[in-house]
């Protein structure tokens, strides 16, 4: 009889813990969607892209590795 109650309490606690973690994850994803990210301009073609998606070299931003290499070759 006691084992059934212990199992029931464990199941309820696991459900509570799972729902609480789900709510935290939902709040964090909402915050990240609302944040504004800086846009940077590709030094080779002028395309504007988010800073997190850019490639950086010599304090310049590029939209792709190809454009980075082309820019570096043309500046030598």
| pLDDT in the model for residue 66 | 94
User: Does the predicted TM-score (pTM) go above 0.75?
Assistant: no
Contact 20, 27 (CB under 8 A): no
- 9-56 pLDDT, tens digit per residue, is 999 999 999 999 888 887 776 656 667 789 999 999 999 999 989 999
Question: H-helix or E-strand containing 19?
Answer: helix 2-34
**Could you please report the per-residue DSSP string of 23-35?**
HHHHHHHHHHHH-
């Amino acid at each position: 009889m006691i084992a059934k109650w212990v199992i029931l309490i464990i199941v309820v606690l696991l459900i509570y813990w799972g729902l609480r973690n789900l709510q935290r994850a939902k709040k964090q994803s909402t915050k990240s969607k609302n944040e504004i990210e800086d846009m940077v301009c590709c030094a080779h073609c002028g395309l504007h892209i988010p800073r997190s998606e850019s490639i950086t070299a010599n304090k310049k931003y590029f939209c792709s590795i190809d454009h980075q290499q082309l820019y570096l070759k043309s500046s030598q």
